[in-house]
Structure 1
Amino acid sequence: MLRTVTVGLDGSPESRAAAEWAARESTLRSLPLKLVHVWEPVPEPMAQAPLLGAETQQHWTERIPREAAEGVALRHPGLEVITEQLYGHPGDVLAEAAKNAELLVLGSRGLGGLGGFLVGSVGLSVLAHAERPVVLVRALEQAADEHEPDPVGIPSAATPFRPVVLGLDTAHPDETLIAFAFDAALRRETPLRVVHAWNPPPYYAYGTPANPALHEALALSAAEEVAKVLSPWRTRFPGVETVEVTRYGSPAVHLVDASHEASLVVVGRRTRRNPVGSHIGHVTHAVLHHATVPVAVVPHD
């Protein structure tokens, strides 16, 4: 089965921005774009109201994906656009739809701290349970935002892409996550900036006076671990320029800082089989809340 780039569409500005980002991603991947609109049935008493009758429901559920598809096709000539109407709880339905997608794209419900995301309950549910990568896109995201400024300092879709940023945990490096980031950078013909944050072990951190030599040794060790993890990937993706960044402190803080000069931030989510809870992880959750560019969350074992 040919996979698609699938986007959850509800007619809101954020979902329309997500559809535009997904259309550009479909073009980069040479894949069809699927617009999925989920209709959550309203309670029976409301459904019987004159303005919410069966004909009205059918009109709106058909109109949203149809008009979105027409607009996307007009702005992206040659792109195959598929629409699908599904019924049920949006979080459950979209997580299921992601199984047959190359990736699932969702719009953010608003701006969080420092211009990032406010991920609503549906988005959190999908992120926690989707088996494929999920990309969050802000309502105000524009194609030019992902590109370097032109000679007069204005971002333009005609200039090269900004780097892709990958958050790397050297203690638990995952091939799925790393491969996604390298592939994204390769398709954009842009460098991959790999960000790793380190902290001294607890027995160093507590009760030990400041020691510049120790700090330098730990920083060197962290940099060597990053280089070791990335070595086979550099060989596998020789066309991707890789920039290694190791910093002392919070991974989330450094990833958010890197997002200001990125086109995409890629982070991981460890798969949990327990259906209860969000299972997103505190670093990924913080990046989602504060990053200023689209964020790809890649599930892995």
Structure 2
Amino acid sequence: MLRTVTAGVDGSPESRAAAEWAAREAHLLGRPLKLVHVLEPVPEPIAQAPFLGAETHQLWDEGTATEAPPAEVWGKISQETAEGLRMRHPGVEVTVEHVTGRPGEVLCAAANSAELLVLGSRGLGGIGGWLLGSVGLSVVAHAERPVVLVRAGEQAADEHEMDPAGVPSAATAFRPVVLGLDTGSPDESLIRFAFEAAVRRATSLRVVYGWNPPSSYAYGLAAAPELQQMLARSVAAALAEVMRPWRQKFPHVEVFEQSRYGSPAHHLVDASRDASLVVVGRRVRRSPLGAHIGPVMYAVLHHAAVPVAAVPHG
């Protein structure tokens, strides 16, 4: 069965931007697009409250108890979104799915059965939608497939180079794809995802590695600049060694390697300003404390200037 590109929609500007991005990516991938809207059920305490009558439950179900649109309005919004996407992307098959359940669980399941899941970077709180600040980050932390986060207002032109007039234009070439990489634990699925994204966009790949020396080196680096230069050359050589076989696998992708002293998150956020997409890995951890996304990805998801693909790996 052909995996879909799936987008979570809730009627917000953020989810509309995510759906548009997902439609463009579905076109590049040659995949169908599925729009998923989550209808959260009545909270258990209210469902079991004996002093609330049928009328109150009906109001909650219709959304009037929380000023949220009733289910039929959500259905209309989703269908209108789908129709707009079909008109703007005639080559993409678009379907809509309404699912009742806990947003985090539903969206995580949707991600695991999709080629990738696309979400807006903000959402509606409460019964009216899913709060991406918590739910979205939970999906990123638990999903077994790539999740892409898109900010409100994201336009197709934003991913492209400037035209002769100095304005971003969808008629110009794509900006580079940026890959955040740790040479100490490079993962094939993460690197492949970034290269394939660059191939689809016919653009270059910029590999960013931010490094910090062991604490025992800190004083020495400050006192001896030549030591920092030696370490920098060693780190650059390690990055080049990791990328060498990938350059051979993808000879048509121009690769720029950047290894810089300092915070990886800072360098990735900085590189995002001239990128079309930032790709960051998330190591899958199965521990009693639960899944988490790590400080680098957390910072990039919150501060990157372009869509961010969170790619889970072993």
The normalised TM-score by structure 2 is 0.89
CA distance in 2, matches of 1:97, 1:51: 24
CA distance in 2, matches of 1:165, 1:231: 17
Counterpart of 2:58 in structure 1 is: 48
SS state of the match for residue 296, structure 1? strand
CA distance in 2, matches of 1:103, 1:48: 36
Once the two structures are overlaid, the 10-residue window that deviates more, 207-216 or 264-273, is 207-216
Amino acid at match of 2:26: S
Matched, 1:298 2:308: no
Counterpart of 2:27 in structure 1 is: 27
- Say whether the 8 Å CA contact 2:176–2:205 is kept in structure 1: yes
Amino acid at match of 1:106: L
Distance change in 2, residues 1:251/1:51 (3 Å): closer
Tell me the alpha carbon deviations over residues 127-155 of structure 1, each in whole angstroms, 9 at most, x when there is no partner: 11110000000011000000000011000
- State the Cα distance separating 1:61 from its structure 2 match: 3.5
**Structure 2 runs not aligned, ≥5 long:** 124-130
- State the Cα distance separating 1:99 from its structure 2 match: 1.3
Counterpart of 1:114 in structure 2 is: none
Amino acid at match of 2:27: T
Q: Aligned runs of 1:157-176 on 2, under 5 Å?
A: 157-176=170-189
Matched, 1:195 2:208: yes
Once the two structures are overlaid, the 10-residue window that deviates more, 253-262 or 34-43, is 34-43
Tell me the alpha carbon deviations over residues 18-55 of structure 1, each in whole angstroms, 9 at most, x when there is no partner: 0000000000000000101111012445532288279x
The normalised TM-score by structure 1 is 0.93
Once the two structures are overlaid, the 10-residue window that deviates more, 194-203 or 142-151, is 194-203
Counterpart of 1:154 in structure 2 is: 167
Amino acid at match of 1:24: R
CA distance in 1, matches of 2:262, 2:72: 53
Counterpart of 2:117 in structure 1 is: 104
Q: Aligned runs of 1:1-301 on 2, under 5 Å?
A: 1-43=1-43, 44=47, 45=52, 46-49=56-59, 52=62, 57-109=70-122, 119-206=132-219, 210-274=223-287, 276-301=289-314
SS state of the match for residue 141, structure 1? coil
CA distance in 2, matches of 1:47, 1:71: 34
- State the Cα distance separating 1:58 from its structure 2 match: 3.6
Amino acid at match of 1:28: L
Residue identity over aligned pairs, in percent, reads 67
Count of residue pairs the alignment pairs up: 293
- Say whether the 8 Å CA contact 2:285–2:291 is kept in structure 1: no
Counterpart of 2:128 in structure 1 is: none
- State the Cα distance separating 1:245 from its structure 2 match: 0.6
- Say whether the 8 Å CA contact 1:47–1:53 is kept in structure 2: no
CA distance in 1, matches of 2:289, 2:148: 22
SS state of the match for residue 152, structure 1? coil
- Say whether the 8 Å CA contact 2:221–2:227 is kept in structure 1: no
CA distance in 1, matches of 2:84, 2:186: 40
CA distance in 1, matches of 2:198, 2:137: 26
- State the Cα distance separating 1:57 from its structure 2 match: 3.5
Larger radius of gyration: 2
CA distance in 1, matches of 2:288, 2:74: 30
Amino acid at match of 2:278: V
CA distance in 2, matches of 1:36, 1:133: 16
